[in-house]
Amino acid sequence: QDRLSQLVGLFKDRTEHKKDKLLDPDESEEEGSSPSTSDHIKGVIFLCLTDLIYVIWLFFVVTAWNWNMWLIPVRWAFPYQTPENIHLWLLIDLTCDLIYVTDILVFQPRLQFVRGGDIVVSKWGGEYIYVYIYTHKNLSLCPPPPFCFQYMVFNEFNDRMEAVMKKAYIYRVIRTSTYLLYSLHINACLFYWGSAYEGLGSTKWVYNGKGNAYIRCYYFAVKTLITIGGLPDPTTVFEIIFQMINYFVGVFAFSIMIGQMRDVVAAATAGENYYRSCMDSTVKYMNSYNIPREVQNRIKTWYDFTWKSQGMLDEQELLVQLPVKMKLDVAVDVNYAIISKVALFQGCDRQMIFDMLTRLKSVVYLPGDFVCKKGEIGREMYIIKQGEVQVVGGPDLQTVFVTIKAGSVFGEISLLAGGGGNRRTANVKAHGFANLFILDKKDLADILVHYPESQKLLRRKKADDKNLDKVEVIPPKSESPKLFRAALKVAEQAGIEGAFAKLRKACK
């Protein structure tokens, strides 16, 4: 009866809770979730999976796990564990078990994990320990040691190493090679066990008991799994079955290893293969249309320099899959220090500057390429990221008036010109290889629609200095002094020829 009364009370409480939730969902959810959330998170140490400290700890756990995975088969098959040295083996085993228990009780319960989109951390690791104990009890009457459950940590360590390494493909090659060596290691242990089962030296096929047992058995495993051949023929049924299984496993294992190695190499060279494919397609196109050799060489040079300097042909392709917020974070870190120095945009809304950063395009110019020419309609602003550009003039456009270095900006007033834009007032060409950021006029107009105050500020700056974008490459010639002109006139009237007359002709 007491149990029945308790159940009735629980049903009443549940009914009241559902009723309150229907009347005011927001308030009921807040009241129901706040206490458990605060109790749940309070006092918990959060460890990020890419944290260096956690990766170092995983290294120790994986080292202990590899010790057991490599040495347990050796101790089982070879007579290396003796009563004289068993205390050393047990000491190392206990040390490894201590690392496993520390990982289970200290580190794993304090990791963040996602459930239904929420970051969840169990204060005492109850869920993790319960799963471990439940699995531990149901595997067998004699539970296996803790290292059997650390294979997940091994996979996690591989993922973390690839995340923190700059060249992850190197680690993938090492890991794949280790898989191959481990398969040979297991085969060597099995061969010694089979030889001991048949009797050491009983036939020509088994190990004869001479020399280093592990090295000789490993040599047998290499020749068998790689199917080199040259081994004695098996004589007994056991030896024949063992050798057949070896051959089948060798073919299957090595086909997997070769496939994995091919995938690793393909992933490591995917970017370079894409670059080569683009260049080959471009060269094929130019040859089909008989493009001049000089132009082809410049295009090849552009491909080569762009790839070597950036590691990619288009920076936008790298960020196309990122969310808008992450694209903005990358753009701020890369470009904000440069764009913030532009006097035209100082005082504008900070968010407008951030939006502008995502619209910048990186373009590489070869030595001698013209960035803009005098008389062209200005539709872009240029920011020098790397290299130098020169303002040139003269009849052959070889006279250098100004050299603009990295971090400088030119052409910014062209973005604000109305009525179809204003014309460039100078010729600008790249001096050496130059990497420029370009901001298009249309992109700026789309941004300013959402920032009217910044738009007014930019128009006011343009009205205050209409000639900000004009580069005065040759100053006007100053007028000759009156006394000097009078002296020239007297010299002419007196018929004096010489220095004064020549000087007069030069001043005309």
Domain boundaries, the chain: 2-39, 52-164, 170-268, 271-310, 315-464
pLDDT of amino acid 135: 41
Tokens of 201: 């030296």
The count of other CB atoms within 10 Å of the CB of residue 290 is 7
CA 257 to chain centre: 26
Buried b / exposed e over 223-235, threshold 16 CB at 10 Å, is: ebbeeeeeeeebe
pLDDT, mean of each 10-residue run, the chain (508 residues): 58 63 50 40 42 85 92 92 91 91 81 63 47 40 52 82 82 88 92 92 90 92 78 88 87 82 82 86 91 90 84 72 80 78 80 86 89 86 88 87 85 67 82 88 87 86 58 45 62 56 53
Q: Which residues contact 293 (CB under 8 A, 6 or more apart)?
A: none
Burial of 319 (0-12, 13-18, 19+ CB in 10 A): middle
Buried b / exposed e over 2-16, threshold 16 CB at 10 Å, is: eeeeeeeeeeeeeee
Which residue's structure tokens are 């990766």? 55
Q: Give the C-alpha separation, 300 to 294, whole Å.
A: 10
Does residue 192 contact residue 78 with C-beta atoms inside 8 Å?
yes
pLDDT of amino acid 420: 56
Does residue 222 contact residue 184 with C-beta atoms inside 8 Å?
yes
Our separate counts of H helices and E strands in the chain read: 18, 8
Q: pTM of this prediction?
A: 0.60
**Topology given in CATH for the domain delimited by 315-464:** Jelly Rolls (2.60.120)
pLDDT of amino acid 146: 56
Length of the chain: 508
Burial of 85 (0-12, 13-18, 19+ CB in 10 A): exposed
Does residue 391 contact residue 402 with C-beta atoms inside 8 Å?
yes
Q: What is the CATH number of domain 170-268?
A: 1.10.287.70
Query: E-assigned strands of 12-167?
Result: 113-115, 118-120
Q: Give the C-alpha separation, 282 to 428, whole Å.
A: 27
Tokens of 366: 């070869």
Q: Which residues contact 173 (CB under 8 A, 6 or more apart)?
A: 261, 264, 265
Does residue 221 contact residue 184 with C-beta atoms inside 8 Å?
yes
Buried b / exposed e over 462-480, threshold 16 CB at 10 Å, is: beeeeeebebebeeeeeee
Query: E-assigned strands of 373-420?
Result: 380-393, 399-404, 409-410
Q: Say what angle helices 350-357 and 324-339 make with each other, to 10 degrees.
A: 110
Q: Which helix (H) or strand (E) holds 437?
A: strand 427-440
Task: Name beta bridge partners: 396.
Answer: none
Does residue 304 contact residue 366 with C-beta atoms inside 8 Å?
no
The count of other CB atoms within 10 Å of the CB of residue 455 is 19
The count of other CB atoms within 10 Å of the CB of residue 109 is 19
